[in-house]
Structure 1
Amino acid sequence: MNRHVNAIAGRLSLRPPQRQSLEILDRITEVIPPRKVADAVAALEAIKAEFPTVTDFERDFPSLCFALATGVGKTRLMGAFITYLHLAHGINNFFVLAPNLTIYNKLIADFTPNTPKYVFKGIAEFSVETPEVITGDNYESRGALLNELLRCKINIFNISKINSEVRGGKSPRIKRLSEYIGESYFDYLAGLPDLVLLMDESHRYRASAGVRAINELKPVLGLELTATPFVETSRGAVPFKNVILDYPLGRAMADGFVKEPAVVTRKDFNPAGMSIEEIERLKLEDGVRLHEGVKVELETYARQTGNAIVKPFVLVIARDTTHAGQLMQFIQSDRFFGGRYAHKVIQVDSSKTGAEEDEMIERLLKVEHTEEPTEIVIHVNMLKEGWDVTNLYTIVPLRAANARTLIEQSIGRGLRLPYGKRTGVISVDRLNIVAHDKFQEIVEEANRPNSTIRLQQVIIAPEQFQQKTATVVSQSRLAAKLGFQPEQMTASTSVASGGEAPAFATPEEQKVARITYEVIRRLENQPGKLPSVTYLQNPEVRETVLREVAAQYRPQQLEMEGVSKPDLAAVVAKTTELVVQQTIDIPRILVVPKGEVRSGFKPFTLDLSKINYQAPSEELWVQHLRTNHLEIIGLGHGGIEESRLEDYIVGGLIDFDDIAYDDHADLLYDLAGQMTSHLLGYLSSDDARRVLRFHQREIARFVHAQMQAHYWEEAVDYEVVVSKGFTELKTSAFTASATEPPLDFRTSPTDKSNMAKYLFSGFQKCLYPVQKFQSDSERKMSVILERESLKWFKPAKGQFQIFYKRGADHAEYQPDFVAEAADTIYMLEPKAANQMTDEEVLAKRDAAVKWCRHASGHAGTYGGKPWKYLLIPHDAIAENMTLTGLERQFVTR
């Protein structure tokens, strides 16, 4: 493997299909070195011998297609291709073709440094000497400098302009004489010895006159990228003959690189007797109702995880411009939710010209921005390739079409994930297609045996739409008393109130209090000076805080009548007292090795009893490659032909972060040998090779999972480091009803099976005004803690840095309750009685007990309270129980 492949894949964080594409390019350059080819036929035969899916270059020069599903990252792959060819083969000249103005402008932005999606971010060589970007708009003026530029040059051109000029009988401008360089720019490029042609969305212009003109450039290599490797003709779809890698949408969904599409309908929906207009109105209204719920879920997730808030939008697909205009008028009228979306909708089609078109395009390009008001986009077949948004979550198709067309044309623009990966939260990872009248037809189409995708089904009862939700932000009572406000307030944000009045009456006092709190927060990182918040009551510590506050405080406009300077000492004293009262000491504990750490995997025998892969037939292989069936796409066609069968497994295993080839080579080949011996026990050598190519990633994951049980780690010694004596209470966020008030925690709701939807309040000792419970047992625990503890709370994600082993990963453990009593701090975990011996529950318990042991050790250094961990079965929790009684039965040491 070329060393550049590993380096580029790491620096650009390439996904597996992108990395596989780069590995293929690396092999291509070995088979046919990138230089002017005199004999394209011989080059084709050399490629076919190793990549049998390529039957024709379809050009006069070597040209190969990488078919990657929408949302996987074709532009980043282009950047990886250019980086590799420049670093590994010294190629300096690239010609990038775009199919339309939208993609042309997007490519220019993505290849321009200091832009959000810059494709070379992380490539050190290009940060020192940035590639020169030459466009279809500036190539003439830059021509005089071309020969002086020795560095990498990327030409970006729009094929549409060339097509129009060729069809009109005129020679493209690129072929006309340039006074700057003494020849046409086309001839200049054609004369270069190292020009590589990259074609973005190549299916859009593959057979056009413009591409035939561009083909005269005779580049050393052509690289095509598309999600649809076929050309639509009157006779149907004609597949490309030069596809060297095919990674379709179904595979991208299975691997979690895009959203999961779902078709949505109403419960018991029956269109009989309804007019087309009535059905459209219902779909529009339900789409927006669904959108409002998604908007809240996205904000809640962002606040819970500390990510940026994503503003979703609805895409409405109209039949034609007239229909789009009618929809626009309806949505802007009072008949559609009282006109609330009148200024939140745009119409995107060819009916707009001049200033209206400019405004339309500007709003469309900013639809991802949270400050841009657009939440509904109506379009008529204009939003195709190149419009890369990550915040499309609801699609309402109103165009008459068959199920397959609806699926293919609807989902393409909405598959990209806002955070770049699946989150595990259904509402954040799902794309909704509202198709009441086409629901069954779409489901049947998606369930066809040769369908490349599988759709989820979402059936919503009408009463669910009536339950308007909001994101409820629950700050600690301390934050509320000090006058803090949550960041990024939106129309969907509600701040929980526990009836807390601000602790300070005047703006100047509030300002001093906030400065005081920031000074105290900085002291978190000095556990030697401040091992506990109780030390804030120490006169010396309080004097130190006061001096720092006085140095930072700048009074504003004290000369105004009625404004007096606050008593700094009094405000600091009151603030520190509040912090002591409204905080439980949660230290930040790190366990770090002293000296060298050694780790590895012990030899073992694989359990292969369930491995019974069968090799696909050659006939089935060919058929599926032409029709894009999901089953065959996983075949290593386009992968490197390994000399040893074991190399397929080893090559898959070394992609895991916890496996270093140099340290584990013997074990890896031993395990790979066990697997290949098993396969050869019932398959021929050729069939075993094809199984390993087909299932390489799955087999590697299978072996890696078994390796985890045989992992070992040893260090000379470990030491516990306390980096913070206490930590700030993190803000919580919940999705809850926007109209119903929180319930009283003392009363059990009638629907206990759906506890997670309720918000509870009425607490006196809880450090937050509202809480959510996952079960009625948790609610009962809060009743006990209100009576028995001094203060308690349910920690937000990230409050504790406790991690436990879950397979190959280290997951974060978030305990259910923390409570401080007179002489103990408790970490409490109510759990269903039938889960008490669950492997993951026990792993969490062990990690938490170890943390409590270290926290108690730290508390012992200053006379603080010890920590104890209680794992409690749900059926042992009753309101008459006491903390000491629970401790006697369930404490884990």
Structure 2
Amino acid sequence: MNRHVNAISGRLSLRPPQRQSLEILDRITEIVPPRKSTAVSEALELIQSEYPSVTDFERDFPSLCFALATGVGKTRLMGAFVTYLHLAHGINNFFILAPNLTIYNKLIADFTPNTPKYVFKGMAEFVVNQPALITGDNYDQRDPASGSLFGGVRINIFNISKIDSEVRGGKAPKIKRLSEYIGESYFDYLAALPDLVLLMDESHRYRAKAGLRAINELKPVLGLELTATPFVETSKGAIPFNNVIYDYALGRAIADGFVKEPAVVTRKNFNPAGMSKEAIEELKLSDGIRLHEQTKVQLETYARETNREIVKPFVLVIARDTTHAAQLKTLLESDDFFDGGYKGKVIQVDSSKTGAQEEDMINRLLKVEHADEPTEIVIHVNMLKEGWDVTNLYTIVPLRAANARILIEQSIGRGLRLPYGKRVGVTAVDRLNIVAHDKFQEIVDEANRPDSQVRMQTVILDPDELEKKTKTVISQSKLASQLGTIPAQTSTSTTVAPSAEKTVFTTAAEQKVAQAAYTVIKKFESQPDRVPTTHSLANAEVQADMVREVAAAFTPTQLELEGVTEQPDIAAIVKKTAELVVQQTIDIPRILVVPKGEVDSGFKAFELDLSGLNFQPISDELWVQLLRTGTHEVIGLGKGGLKETRLENYVVSGLVDFDDIDYEKHADLLYDLASQTVTHLKGYLSEEQAGKVLWRHQKEIAAFIHAQMQAHYWEDEAVEYEVVISKGFTELKSSAYTATANEEPLDFRVSPKDKSNMAKYLFGGFKRCLYPVQKFDSEAERILAVILDRETEKWFKPAKGLFQIFYRLGADHSEYQPDFVAETADAIYMLEPKKRTALNDADVLAKKDAAENWCENATSYSLKHGGKPWIYRLIPHDTISENMSIDHLGKG
């Protein structure tokens, strides 16, 4: 494998389909170097011998299509292509073609340094010598031959209309007219370059005669086409491209988790019989908006739980025509629709807008991802095609008549991109909803066809549940309430859980001083040598330092500017704030276990169990049937398929990709394992067949061997470890929950009637919990909370990331979050209720070992500083009852 492929893939964080595309380009340029002297017919024959799907370039030059599903990352792949061709083959001139103004502007932004989606981010070669960006707007303003102006790599980005259109009087486009700088047209200058590579975004848009002719006249050494739809729609049906060298279809992207999971939505027991078209439309709109409101809350809750940026979702309504779109906008913004809650939050996107209205429409559309932009509903009539690149579309309501295939293939394309770049395992974040009551069964049937690209999830809405509005409830610690702190981010669906704790400081000035004092206290978290526990905040020197730092921010002049006439007693407020922190906190240290000196580790030699490795011989042409999607692809191997000189190298090169394998240290072991594997394959295959199996299944075989290696991992037992305390105590951060909007928290002392889904309830009424509301995953957890509120000084359910306890299970390192933490007069407990049937599960035992080790280290630290021991208890859920004492829980 070319070293440039590995380097570029790593630095640009390419996804597997992007890397595979780059590997193909590497192989293609190896057998057909990109030169103008190459005969097109000979190039086609060579490429076809290895990639049989390429039967015709469909251009006057070698041109290959990479068909990647929407959302996989075609623009980043363009950046990888440019980088590779420059580094591996010294190519400096690139021409990127856009099909319309939207994509043209987007490409310019993505190839401009210091922009959010800059395609060369991470490539050191382009930090000092940044590629020159030449566009359809500035190409005629400078001499292209001037290296000082255009640099080494020159990237031209043009809209197709700039090169294939004629102007009034039959004149040629401006790019083809004589330039005063170069004595020829810029088009002719480009066509004469010896190393021009053409990249075509959405290449299915360049199959018209004028576009084909203009592209051929550029005479590039190589054409690279990217599209999600590798076919041309005609009156006789879809005509597939003949130059597709790699096809990564939408079904595969969905199955591999690179895009959202599409779902078709209908109502429970929905029957359209007797309903007018208008009534069905209004029902779909209403249900779509209710679903949107739920999604909005769930997205905010997830963001707060994981400390990520809040995503504002929006709804896409597909209208029949501009008249229908205008009617829908009037309806959606009326006082009768959800009590006028969507006034000013709807934009209509279609050809009816001109001038200033059109400009405003485009500006709002381009900013629809921004959290502070009010748009929550976009109505469009066939204008939102390729290039509208958003990640926060979560609900689609199609109201235009269309067959199921068009609804699936065209509608969902705009909403598949994921806001966090990958799926997160939370349904609300990972799913795209298509509300299609009247088309539900038709869409399901179409998705279930054997040749369908997409398998659709189905969502049945319960009208009773749908009517219930939801909200994000932020549960601040009681300490935050006492200090008068409010959450940094709020939205219309955010509610701060009411606390019985009142603000201790009565005036605005006192609250500001208290909050400033708490900010200083949080700095002391990371100074365990000086402030080992919160009780150390009472130390006279620490108090003096806090007073000095707070006073510096509240000088008399500053207070006067803020309208405060009476100087607050800073020393008294700092002292009281420190007392509150002690009362309303359980000291949780941040513990790191690190080795003294170097740690030697590795893998022992062993005999592989290869009985389960039975890949069958494959022909030179593979027919791959995808079970999830029903689609197939033909993969050609050809004569160039075997690239390693030694079969064992396939196994070794696959294994060294794993982070825990050091080639220098493990070379002998790796080749021993590779030799075992090759011997096993050659036991039932010929050498040629074994080579093809190793080439085709390299990653699967490497993963198969790597999994067995984990049982033979060793670490030097003689190495000494030391416990490092990086924090003496840790701030109690807010938790976030999704709850029904109009329902108050339940009394935690009372068992709810429906215990089948405990996680939907929010509970309150605690006396000793450090938070006003909590959620429980089971009835056993609720009962445990009753015990804790009766018997402890303080307790709570920790938010994610508070402890940072990590455990190893196989090759994975994961974070463990205990369910409860409680402090009594004599000890601090870490409590984990579990079903009895799960007590001996491998992951439960691994978590238990990690937690007990953490508690042992925490105890040593705590007792050293006059604190209490930490005790871990794994508690069978069926032993938890209200008559139990905390000391008895989990014993025996």
Q: TM-score, normalised by structure 1?
A: 0.95
- Indicate how the Cα distance of structure 1 residues 203 and 692 shifts in structure 2: closer, same or farther if over 3 A, else same: farther
* Aligned-partner SS, 1:597: coil
**CA distance in 1: counterparts of 2:432 and 2:563, whole angstroms:** 58
Post-superposition shift, 1:786? 0.9
Pair 622,578 (structure 1): closer, same or farther in 2 beyond 3 Å: closer
1:43 is matched with which residue? Answer: 43
* Partner Cα separation in structure 1 for residue 412 and residue 686 of structure 2: 42
Q: Distance in 1 between matches of 2:752 and 2:105?
A: 56
Q: How do 1:428-577 residues align onto structure 2 when only pairs under 5 Å count?
A: 428-555=429-556, 556-558=558-560, 563-577=565-579
Within 5 Å, give how 1:785-800 maps onto structure 2. 785-800=788-803
| Structure 1 match to 2:726 | 723
Distance in 2 of aligned mates of 1:838 and 1:139: 66
2:795 aligns to what SS in structure 1? strand
**Which stretch of the first structure deviates more once superposed, 650-659 or 341-350?**
650-659
Structure 1 residues 434 and 693 mapped into 2: Cα distance closer, same or farther (>3 Å)?
A: farther
Alignment match, 1:141: 141
Task: Report the equivalent of 1:309.
Answer: 310
Match of residue 846 from structure 1: 849
Contact 1:98 1:157 in 2 (8 A): yes
CA deviations on 1:207-226 (whole Å, 9 max, x unpaired) are: 44123212212111111111
Q: Give the deviation of 1:2 after TM superposition.
A: 2.3
Q: 1:276 and 1:491 mapped to 2: Cα distance?
A: 33
Given the alignment, which residue of 713, 716, 724 partners 2:715?
713
Contact preservation (8 Å) 1:246, 1:633: no
SS of 1:6's partner is: helix
CA shift for structure 1 position 677? 4.6
How has the CA–CA distance of structure 1 residues 207 and 698 changed in structure 2, closer, same or farther, with 3 Å as cutoff? Answer: farther
Q: Secondary structure at the match of 2:623?
A: helix
Distance 2:784 2:356 in 1: 62
Q: Is 1:414 aligned with 2:388?
A: no
Using the alignment, how far apart are the partners of 1:166 and 1:710 within structure 2? 73
| Paired letter, 1:601 | F
Letter aligned with residue 125 of structure 1: E
For the residues of structure 2 that align with 1:774 and 1:820, how far apart are their CA atoms? 21
- Cα distance in 1 for partners of 2:879, 2:613 equals 44
SS at match of 2:164: helix
CA contact (8 A) 1:387 1:413 kept: yes
Aligned to 2:22: 22
Q: Secondary structure at the match of 2:829?
A: strand
1:657 match: 659
Measured against aligned partners, the alpha-carbon deviations of 1:832-891 in whole angstroms (never above 9, x if no partner) come to 11111111111111110111111111112212111110000001111111111226x15x
Match of 2:862 in 1: 859
- Once the two structures are overlaid, the 10-residue window that deviates more, 327-336 or 645-654, is 645-654
- The residue type paired with residue 357 of structure 1 is E
Structure 2 counterpart of 1:199, one-letter code: M
- 2:81 corresponds to 1:81: yes
Greater shift, 275-284 or 296-305, is seen at: 275-284
Superposition deviation, residue 389 in structure 1: 0.3
Change (3 A) 1:829 1:423: same
Distance 1:56 1:599, change over 3 A: farther
Change (3 A) 1:373 1:92: same
Please state whether the residue corresponding to 1:596 is helix, strand or coil.
coil
Q: CA deviation at 1:635?
A: 8.1
Aligned residues between the structures: 886
Structure 2 match to 1:232:
233
Change in Cα spacing, 1:263 to 1:639, as seen in structure 2 (3 Å) is farther
Residue 109 of structure 2 corresponds to 109
Distance 1:633-1:340 versus aligned 2 partners, 3 A rule: farther
Task: List per-residue Cα deviations over 1:637-660 (Å, max 9, x = no partner).
Answer: 999643355444444433333334
Give the C-alpha shift of residue 597 in structure 1: 2.0
Distance (whole Å) between structure 2 residues aligned to residue 471 and residue 519 of structure 1: 30
CA spacing shift, 1:635–1:524, aligned 2, 3 Å: farther
> Could you tell me which residue of structure 1 aligns to residue 31 of structure 2?
31
| CA distance in 2 between partners of 1:450 and 1:668 (Å) | 42
Could you tell me whether the CA contact under 8 Å between 2:162 and 2:175 is conserved in 1?
Answer: no
- Of residues 815, 820, 824, the one that matches 2:818 is 815
What's the C-alpha RMSD, in Å, of the aligned pairs?
A: 2.3
Give the deviation of 1:430 after TM superposition.
0.6
Q: 1:702 offset after TM fit, Å?
A: 3.4
**What is the CA–CA distance in structure 2 between the aligned matches of 1:495 and 1:116, rounded to whole Å?**
33
The aligned residue for residue 752 of structure 2 is 749
Give the aligned partner of residue 353 of structure 2. Answer: 352
What's the offset of the Cα at 1:538? 2.4
Residues 294-347 of structure 1: per-residue CA shift (max 9 Å, x gap): 000100000000100000011111122222222222212233222221211111
User: Does residue 597 of structure 2 align to residue 602 of structure 1?
Assistant: no
Contact 2:710 2:811 in 1 (8 A): yes
**Using the alignment, how far apart are the partners of 2:392 and 2:636 within structure 1?**
32
Deviation at 1:601, TM superposition (A): 2.6
State the distance in 1 between where 2:296 and 2:642 align: 48
The answer as to whether partners of 1:244 and 1:638 remain within 8 angstroms in 2 is no
1:506 Cα shift? 1.0
Match of 1:578 in 2: 580
Deviation, 1:673, is 4.4
Partner SS, residue 474 of structure 2: strand
The reply on whether 1:247 has 2:248 as its aligned counterpart is yes
Distance, in Å, in 1 between the alignment partners of 2:618 and 2:253 is 21
Residue by residue over 1:221-240, the C-alpha shift from the partner in whole angstroms, topping out at 9 and shown as x without a partner, is 11111111122223322222
Residue type of the alignment partner of 1:418: P
What percent identity do the matched residue pairs reach? Answer: 71
The farther-off stretch of 506-515 and 104-113 is 506-515
User: Is the 1:533–1:585 Cα contact (8 Å) retained in structure 2?
Assistant: yes
* SS in structure 2 of the partner of residue 209 of structure 1: helix
Which range is displaced more, 750-759 or 557-566? 557-566
Alignment match, 1:121 = 121
Deviation sequence 1:351-372 (CA, Å, 0-9, x none): 1111111111111000000111
Going from structure 1 to structure 2, the CA distance change for 1:741 and 1:841 (only over 3 Å counts) comes to same
What is the alpha-carbon distance in structure 1 between the residues aligned to residue 563 and residue 172 of structure 2? 78
CA change 1:359–1:593 in 2 (3 A) is: same
2:300 maps to 1:325: no
Kept after mapping to 1: 8 A contact 2:624/2:632: no
Structure 2 residue 882 is matched with structure 1 residue 879: yes
Between the aligned partners of 1:711 and 1:689, the Cα distance in structure 2 is 29
The SS at the match of 2:120 is coil
Instruction: Indicate how the Cα distance of structure 1 residues 511 and 746 shifts in structure 2: closer, same or farther if over 3 A, else same.
Output: same
Counterparts of residues 587-626 of structure 1 (less than 5 Å): 587-614=589-616, 621=623
Counterpart amino acid of 2:845?
L
Q: Partner residue of 2:69?
A: 69
The 8 Å contact of residues 51 and 635 in structure 2, kept in 1 or not, is answered as: no
Q: Is the 8 A contact 2:821 2:830 kept in 1?
A: yes
The one-letter code of the counterpart of 2:741 is A
- Note the C-alpha offset of 1:43: 1.9
More displaced stretch, 201-210 vs 72-81 = 201-210
Q: 1 CA distance for matches of 2:620 and 2:324?
A: 49
Q: 1:681 to 1:267 in 2, by over 3 A?
A: farther
Secondary structure at the counterpart of residue 810 of structure 1:
strand
Q: Output the CA distance in 2 between the equivalents of 1:560 and 1:770.
A: 35
User: Deviation string for 1:106-147 (max 9, x for gaps)?
Assistant: 000111111111111111221112111110111111236645
Contact 2:602–2:713 (8 Å) recurs in 1: yes
Report the 3-state secondary structure (helix = DSSP H, G, I; strand = E; otherwise coil) of the residue aligned with 1:86: helix
Whole-angstrom CA distance in 2 between matches of 1:671 and 1:316 = 57
Residues 321 and 380, structure 1, Cα contact 8 Å, conserved in 2: yes
Structure 1 distance, partners of 2:166, 2:383, is: 23
What CA deviation, in whole Å up to 9, does each residue of 1:390-417 have, x standing for no partner?
0011111112121111100111111110
Alpha-carbon displacement from aligned partner over 1:12-50 (angstroms, at most 9, x marks no partner): 111111112122222222212222134122222222223
Residue aligning to 1:163:
164
